[in-house]
Amino acid sequence: MTAQITTHPVGAAALRHRVAERARELSRQPFLVLAWLVVLIAIGWAVAPHLFTGYSPYEGNPDASFLAPNAQHWFGTDRLGRDLFARSVYGARATLTATLLAVAIAFGVGTLLGLLAGFAGGVVDTAAMCMVDVFLAIPGLLLAMVIVSVLGYSTDNIAIAVGISSIAAFARVMRAEVLTVVARDYVHAAYGLGVGRLGVVLRHVVPNAVSSVLALAALEVGSAILAIAGLGFLGYGAPPPQPEWGLLVAEGRDVVATHPWVSIMPGAALAIVVIATHRISVSLRKEHGR
Amino acid sequence: MTNDPLLRIADLAVAYRTGRRWSDAVRGVSLEIRPGELVSLVGESGSGKTTLIQGALGLLPASARIVRGSVAYSGVDVTGWSDRRMALVRGNYVGFIPQDPNTSLNPVKKIGQQVLEAVRFNARTRGRAAAAAHRADALESLRTAGLKDVERVFDQYPHELSGGMKQRALIAIALAGKPSVVVADEPTSALDVTVQKLILDHLLRLRDELSIGILLVTHDLGIALDRSDRILVMHEGRLVQEGPVDDLVEDEAADAYTRRLLAAAPARHRGRLAPAGEWRERADGPPVLVARGLRKSYALRGRRRGSEVRALDTVDLVLRRGTTHAIVGESGAGKSTLARILVGFTAADAGTVQVDGRDLTGLSRRQWREVRRELQFVFQNPFTSLDPRFTVARILAEPLRAFGLARGKAARTARVSELLHAVALDGVDPRRLPRQLSGGQRQRVAIARALALNPGILVLDEAVSALDASVQKQILQLLVDLQADLGLSYVFVTHDLGVVRLIADDVTVMKDGVVVESGSAEDVFAAPRHDYTRQLLEAIPGTRHAVAEPRPAAQLQAP
């Protein structure tokens, strides 16, 4: 204990130093800072939409239909005179929760499957990887559409479908990582020290294998948003009055020639968020590689 | 010939960029190489010796820059020359022999093509007519490098050659441009000792026959002592010692670092290291570990069925309590396979292993766990044998937790600091991660971890091979001290007979999976019965001077 007390100020100084270092590093990557800002705002929209807009996403003013973007209505208004910015802000919740759910499913199931295949080897590995190959052979969006058709139309089901369709990628990456970690000396050493198989898996294999899978998860967030919005656009998701990014874009497609902002503004928001998450995942992967 | 030296480096300083800071790797080094002279540059890893020669050859990585100083070949200053101009100097004027022959040749090109490339690049004549002459030159170059049957080697791929032959091919490439000075960066570190001896002797012959200057970079003072005309010792980016070999050995007032390096060279000791503490007479203990008739073969994949490599062929081994049994051999001798079988990482095809009279053949996982408390393993490379995410405390506590020993936080912390104390790491914060430790510290942690369960037997697989000579010596001393304190028995696997002399009571010499000689260390060293053992003994670097000058060794031997 005494050792901890005496070394504490040194630790604090080191921490301060590291924070300062980190800040300096970030200041050299303005786009990364911007990306984090975009993602934080998007999360803010999802958590507390009423803080970002005074308009209701459902009630419109029929006199003010199809207004172009202006100071009152940043994204303009739609056919019913609803504020598109408000609808985009409220729509973030549906899209982002669905994304989180999808990535969580893909990450959880995929990691477990990959761990099982990589660690058990033999027949289990062959069977699991054959299954994964089948999944990889079917285009993700198509597979998701089939699953949604079976489960029924709703945003949650879209999320489940997108999640299931990206399990395969996670399982592959995790298996490869597990295979390399299992061959490392420290895993042999742990066995040699009398640690049981479960202990080795939980304490050595999983923590060392999972970091690159986490980088993949960050990357997957962007594509999951796209897939969910894509399915929403096709009408597999929430029913119309509810705001959802894919649906917002879909609602504007009939009037794209005359009132393009109805589709473009929510679409642009969507694109910016996806690009931002991609930028962040790239930075995470670089860090992992270091 | 002019009076200018072949290579003159004057006050060269090189710095590396890390983030925004520049850290000095070489801080003002001057050296000269004259015709017909072999100069050794000795230093431990991180001393800046590789950076120095990269600077001299214009091969510095992009993150490094020359801060000051100059490099001149035969009086021509080449400092700041562009890469293209330097390329004309390299090959034509200075030949470079890289470190690892296994990675330095292009695997998809035939040896002959790679030598031809060097010849063609340096030749003045071009065109179809010159092709035959180039081929002859390339063959000649291979012959000069000491390869026999050059016509066959010319049409072979690198994977078809042994490590020694590959290194000779690299020498041939270095000599292809008929350089007047050759720089060799650890040319034999990746090779077996007997091959190392052949290659180095050949370099000496080249020096005499072609009267070229050679700069030999090495971390092994033994190699340098045997063959150099002059030795330069480098430490933390500076030259700390320079002079003829004899001066260096005899000069009592030599630099402290040089003396430490000298003391660490295994060949400069005769007989076993003495423990620092109380010297307990080692009783001729009863056997604790007995292996009988061990066999192991690996099937070759992708060949026709039935073809296999015999890794071990009827190997016996007896380890007496409180003693060290060294297993010596070159790569492919099957010594690592033997070590892995002893601790149950690999199963033998036939034969038995007994620990304290208990047969380990066919034990279940659960039963093996019990054996582990008695029998522990230390890996060769401390950089891979410690989980990078575990703190030192957690690494040491792992075996305790696995067996439910030292329950409770306080008891565990106490045991961890006890273990750290045992391996002389008292000053190390147990919350550190492996990457924050040096190689020697890591190997100490690995040894402490193996000791956590109070085992009676340690199997050490090349446990000091990945470490610098001076660190190697410290770890060996630690092992000897621990043996005296705790009555441990060691199986010590190594390729280095010099190390064996420092630590072993018994020696087993292996070749191609077969034991060629076994006996007490004194007998084997004094009167080797087998030719192969004799070859190995002769190949220990640094022996020439150790024999001529036994005084420091005698001093160190006194307990």
For A48-104, write each residue's pLDDT tens digit: 888 887 777 777 777 777 777 887 777 878 777 788 888 888 888 888 889 999 999
CA distances from B332 to B162, B295, B308, B310 (A): 12, 15, 14, 10
Residues of B in contact with A212 (CB under 8 A): none
- Residue found under tokens 């950089």: B383
- What residue of A is the nearest CA neighbor of B397? A193
CA distances from B456 to A45, B186, B211, B288, B453 (A): 64, 38, 56, 9, 9
- What residue of B is the nearest CA neighbor of A6? B429
Give the nearest partner residue to B372 out of A7, A192, A208, using CB atoms.
A192
Q: Give the number of beta-carbon pairs within 8 Å between A and B.
A: 58
CA distances from A21 to A16, A28, A289, B104 (A): 8, 11, 19, 38
Buried (b) or exposed (e) across B515-526, using 16+ Cβ within 10 A? bbbbbebeebbe
Q: Looking at the DSSP assignment, which residues form a beta bridge with residue B8?
A: B32, B72
CATH superfamily of A93-289: MetI-like (1.10.3720.10)
Instruction: Report the alpha-carbon distance of residue A192 to residue B55 in Å, rounded.
Output: 45
Whole-number pLDDT of residue A1: 38
Instruction: Report the alpha-carbon distance of residue B156 to residue B415 in Å, rounded.
Output: 57
- Residue found under tokens 């061959």: A183
Mutate to test the interface with B, among A18, A177, A191, A193 (most CBs of B within 10 A): A193
- What residue of A is the nearest CA neighbor of B429? A3
Summary mean pLDDT of chain A: 83
Of B328, B263, B358, which Cα lies nearest the Cα of B528?
B328
Instruction: State which amino acid sits at residue B427.
Output: G
For B139, what's the count of Cα atoms within 13 Å in the CB-facing half-sphere? 11
What are the tokens at B182? 């050759």
Query: E strands, B88-212, where?
Result: 94-97, 181-185
Q: How many CB atoms lie within 10 A of CB B48?
A: 23
Instruction: Report the alpha-carbon distance of residue A187 to residue B441 in Å, rounded.
Output: 20
Give the nearest partner residue to A194 out of B369, B384, B387, using CB atoms.
B369
What are the tokens at A39? 């993602």
Instruction: Label the pairing between strands B350-355 and B287-299.
Output: antiparallel
Report which DSSP code applies to B431: T
Residues of B in contact with A204 (CB under 8 A): 387
Instruction: Report the alpha-carbon distance of residue A168 to residue A245 in Å, rounded.
Output: 26
Residues of A in contact with B376 (CB under 8 A): 192-193
State the sign of the Cα–Cα–Cα–Cα dihedral A124, A129, A135, A140: positive
For B196, what's the count of Cα atoms within 13 Å in the CB-facing half-sphere? 28
Contact A192 B387 (CB under 8 A): no
Give the total residue count for chain B: 559
Contact A188 B379 (CB under 8 A): yes
- What residue of A is the nearest CA neighbor of B453? A193
Mutate to test the interface with B, among A2, A26, A186 (most CBs of B within 10 A): A186
Locate the domains of chain A by residue range: 93-289
Instruction: Quickly list DSSP for chain A.
Output: -HHHHHHHHHHHHHHHHHHHHHHHHHHT-HHHHHHHHHHHHHHHHHH-GGGT-SS-SS---GGGTTPPS-SSSTT-B-TT--BHHHHHHHHHHHHHHHHHHHHHHHHHHHHHHHHHHHHH-HHHHHHHHHHHHHHHHS-HHHHHHHHHHHH-SSHHHHHHHHHHHTHHHHHHHHHHHHHHHHTSHHHHHHHHTT--HHHHIIIIIHHHHHHHHHHHHHHHHHHHHHHHHHHHHTT-SS-TTS--HHHHHHHTGGGTTT-THHHHHHHHHHHHHHHHHHHHHHHHHHHHH-
Instruction: Report the alpha-carbon distance of residue B9 to residue B181 in Å, rounded.
Output: 13
Instruction: Report the alpha-carbon distance of residue B129 to residue B400 in Å, rounded.
Output: 75
Q: Looking at the DSSP assignment, which residues form a beta bridge with residue B17?
A: B22
Whole-number pLDDT of residue A175: 92
Interface of B with A in 368-387 (CB under 8 A): 369, 372-373, 376-377, 379, 381, 384-387
Give the nearest partner residue to B385 out of A189, A194, A196, using CB atoms.
A189
pLDDT in tens, chain B (559 residues): 456 788 888 888 888 887 677 888 888 888 888 888 889 888 887 788 888 888 888 888 888 888 888 888 888 888 878 888 888 888 788 888 888 777 888 888 888 888 888 888 777 666 667 788 888 888 888 888 878 888 888 888 888 887 788 888 888 888 888 888 889 888 877 777 777 888 888 888 888 888 888 999 888 787 888 888 888 888 888 888 888 877 777 766 567 788 777 777 766 666 677 776 655 555 567 888 888 888 888 776 655 555 677 788 888 888 988 889 999 888 778 888 898 888 888 888 888 888 888 888 778 888 888 888 888 999 888 888 899 889 999 999 999 888 888 788 888 889 899 889 888 888 888 888 888 888 888 888 999 999 888 898 999 988 887 777 778 888 888 888 888 888 889 999 988 888 888 888 889 999 888 888 888 888 888 888 888 888 888 877 766 554 444 444 334 443 3
For B431, what's the count of Cα atoms within 13 Å in the CB-facing half-sphere? 6
Instruction: Report the alpha-carbon distance of residue A226 to residue A246 in Å, rounded.
Output: 8
Q: Kindly report the nearest CA distance between residue A21 and chain B, in angstroms.
A: 10
Contact A195 B452 (CB under 8 A): no
Q: Kindly report the nearest CA distance between residue B380 and chain A, in angstroms.
A: 9
Instruction: Report the alpha-carbon distance of residue B173 to residue B167 in Å, rounded.
Output: 10
Give the nearest partner residue to B384 out of A3, A184, A194, using CB atoms.
A184
Instruction: Report the alpha-carbon distance of residue A140 to residue B296 in Å, rounded.
Output: 48
Mutate to test the interface with A, among B360, B385, B432 (most CBs of A within 10 A): B385
Q: What is the 3-state secondary structure (H, E, C) of B181-194?
A: EEEEECCCCCCCHH
Contact A193 B398 (CB under 8 A): yes
B102 touches chain A (CB under 8 A): no
Residues of A in contact with B387 (CB under 8 A): 186, 190, 203-204, 208
CA distances from B100 to B148, B158, B160, B187 (A): 21, 13, 16, 7
B121-130 long-range contacts (CB < 8 A, ≥24 apart) are: B121/B91, B121/B177, B122/B91, B122/B92, B122/B176, B122/B177, B122/B178
CB B255 within 8 A of CB B241: yes
Q: Looking at the DSSP assignment, which residues form a beta bridge with residue B355?
A: B289, B358
Contact A192 B385 (CB under 8 A): no
Contact B373 A194 (CB under 8 A): yes
Of B428, B437, B335, B436, which Cα lies nearest the Cα of B380?
B335
Q: Kindly report the nearest CA distance between residue B369 and chain A, in angstroms.
A: 5
Structural element, H or E, at residue B38: strand B38-42
Q: Kindly report the nearest CA distance between residue A127 and chain B, in angstroms.
A: 23
Contact A192 B449 (CB under 8 A): no
Residues of A in contact with B446 (CB under 8 A): 189
- What residue of A is the nearest CA neighbor of B395? A190
Instruction: Quickly list DSSP for B472-536.
Output: HHHHHHHHHHHHHHH--EEEEEES-HHHHHHH-SEEEEEETTEEEEEEEHHHHHHS--SHHHHHH
Longest dimension (CA), chain B: 83
What are the tokens at B39? 């100069």
- What residue of A is the nearest CA neighbor of B401? A195
What are the tokens at A54? 């005074």
CB B526 within 8 A of CB B239: no
- Stretches in chain A below the pLDDT threshold 50: 1-9, 290
Instruction: Report the alpha-carbon distance of residue A262 to residue B127 in Å, rounded.
Output: 70
Report which DSSP code applies to B349: S
Contacting residues for A289 by C-beta, under 8 A, at least 6 apart: none
